[in-house]
A and B are shown apart, each in its own frame.
Chain A
Amino acid sequence: MTEDLHFAYGEGAARAEVLKGIDLRVEAGVMTCLVGPSGSGKTTLLNILGLLEPPQKGRVSFVGRDVRNLTERELEDLRLRELGFVFQAFFLLPTLTVIENTTYFLPSLGLSRGEARDRGMETLARVGLVDHAHKLPRELSGGQRQRVAIARALAKRPKVILADEPTANLDRDTSDTIVSAFQELREKDGVSFVFSTHDHHLLSYAQRVHMLHQGRLVSSEGRGAARAPGAED
């Protein structure tokens, strides 16, 4: 949840305020979408919601805790246990196999090697990549890589997954596969999703859409049941 959130880049004459008094609430088990033109502050807001960047002014709370009061260690721990991040550029570790990328964080969560492997395979099954478990990222298509990135975030069993333009550069079929995975996780595991996107197709699956313009939240729209992936626009 954010209250009167402000954020600016640069100083003095070069200062550019990108978020101007954002009040936002992310509900549990809901797919939330941030939309807006380039430079509207979507990525910055996503970074702040994902505890990657501290707010300069205003309040951000996560599961009832004011993030300003958290130490670096506590923030790292929250990111590890409660949040998962997926990026447009995937950012997988190219020298690790799909299963190794997926299970990367699990030992830090206290899982043994065997437990991590089991959970990794289970997660890969959910994103349809079990057959590719021992391949390197370079052997996969863009969509498959994105699914590995999702699996990596998902294997931690976080409360919230944040995704910055997760379907940009992907074709419609691949986007649908990824959105299907999101929907299933939301419905079965109650995982919340927050993503920024320009993709109108992806938007149609969101339960809540927040539109940003020049750093301000100009509209928040709630929707009913999500549409089925693959349905015509």
Chain B
Amino acid sequence: MDQPNSSTASKAYKIHIGVTITTWVHLAWRSLFRNKRRTFASLCTVAFGAAGLLIYQGFNEGIMNQYRENTIRVRYGHGQVFPKGYLQKKFEEPWKVWLENALQSPQSSGAGEATEPDVSTTSVAPGVVTIEEKLRRIPEVQEVFPRVSFYAFLMKGGVTLAGRGEGVLSERESKFFSAMNFVAGGDLGSQGDARTGLILGKGLADSLNVKVGEPLTILSQTVNGQLNGVELAVTGIFHTGSKEFDDTFFRMELPTAQSLIDTQRVELFSLATGGVEDWPKVAAAIRETLPEVDAEPFDELDKVYYRNAVEFLDAQFAFIRSIMLLIVALGIFNTIATGLFERAGEVGALRANGESRRRVFAILSVESALLGLLGGLLGIAVAVVLNATLLAQGIPMPPGPGITRQFLIFLEIQPAHFAQALLLPAITTLLASIMPIRRLVKMSIPQLLRANL
């Protein structure tokens, strides 16, 4: 006699399971429309929750992206490269550990590798490869921005204020650091020679009562401890929205700054990559090829502003999401329970004829899950339509904590948000229906048969 082999048995079992699930879904789908008004009410409740979740999450993502882009495109780039241990220690004379960009290890390879001329240093010995060149060789790195920073006094007339200066390569930076939001004038090169210009934050400009085109005297200490000064003309006033930055920071051309503090070195390199997702690869490549430096991503550099804001928004969203799902669960619990107990007689008749508790439980659970999924889809459709119409012009937001300007938020709905808006309400609907289903299934058959009489 032929013995059924295990693979045939397993195939038959899979087919049986497949047929069973198809039957459950088929029954659930048909039952869903037995009371159209009630189903519609339940669908609306779930859809409201799903749409709310999607819009709120898109809104949250919009805010976070705005924060992120502001952080990246005003101050840090996607990350920065510092001398080893620079951020962990306090230095009395930090410039002593700054990077001697022109005096790095001899070039070991790189024939045919394109590098831009290094404008951060004045002399590069032949056969020597700079840090900047090494950074440029990392495929994900799109641009490198050498910088120095220093403290200085800014003087105009009888007013003297302390500020924090940065030396930057304005021509290179202006292409990437696009969120400076100049409220007067423009970038360093906009009024003529970039080397004689200066841009500063709105708060600082207001305190100094300085306008575009007016001169400012900058006094700072050189690396040798001597006082040095330079007179620069204001070419622009920026208003990034970050109060701390706008009240304190000013920028000048890198060679001008290096000359002011009398150094050829650079403090750090800001990096522009293909996107935030590239940073881990960039950091790994830097660890491998440049052991003398540390690489930090923008969110680590701006913990207080960006990361805390993101964590705060995430926590807020998690709380509001729980409330929304609770409202959905409470909203449909009663409708589902009423609908289920109206069917007690039918369930009793099925069980009297041999239907198992397990199957009844499965069919009713699939029905609830299906209701949740349909509600989720409806909610997603509503959210997408709202986003394309009413919310298409953005949502005007008042200044947030630590921010001084209003901004527009556009919903940024990611693929994962769709999945969440679909699945969470479906799971919530299923969970909300588990208790009444369990109660129904646990009733004895005579109880079920008597329930609707």
Contacts and interface: CB of A to CB of B under 8 A. Distances in A.
Interface stretch (A59-67, A74-82, A224-232): A74-82
B353 A95 contact: no
A83 B19 contact: no
Say which size band chain B's interface belongs to. 20 to 34
Nearest to B29: A95
A35 interface: no
A16 B356 CA distance: 30
Interface string B346-380: 10111111111101000000000000000000000
B345 A91 contact: yes
Nearest to B344: A91
Interface string B334-352: 0000000000011011111
Contacts of A85: 349, 352-353
A89 B446 contact: no
A19 interface: no
B90 interface: no
Say which size band chain A's interface belongs to. 20 to 34
A76 B441 CA distance: 14
Contact of B446 (A53, A80, A153): A53
A83 B349 contact: no
Contact of A52 (B27, B352, B355, B452): B352
Interface string A40-60: 000010010010110000000
A8 to B, nearest CB: 13
A83 B354 contact: yes
Best-buried of B345, B346, B349, B351 by chain A (most CB within 10 Å)? B349
Given A89-B452, A93-B346, A50 B19 contact: no
B445 interface: yes
A6 interface: no
Nearest to A73: B356
B259 interface: no
Contact of A76 (B34, B348, B356, B446): B356
B444 interface: yes
A78 B33 CA distance: 32
B453 interface: yes
A152 interface: yes
Given A79-B353, A96-B30, 12 more contacts: A47-B445, A52-B351, A76-B351, A84-B353, A87-B352, A89-B452, A91-B349, A92-B349, A94-B346, A95-B30, A108-B354, A152-B353
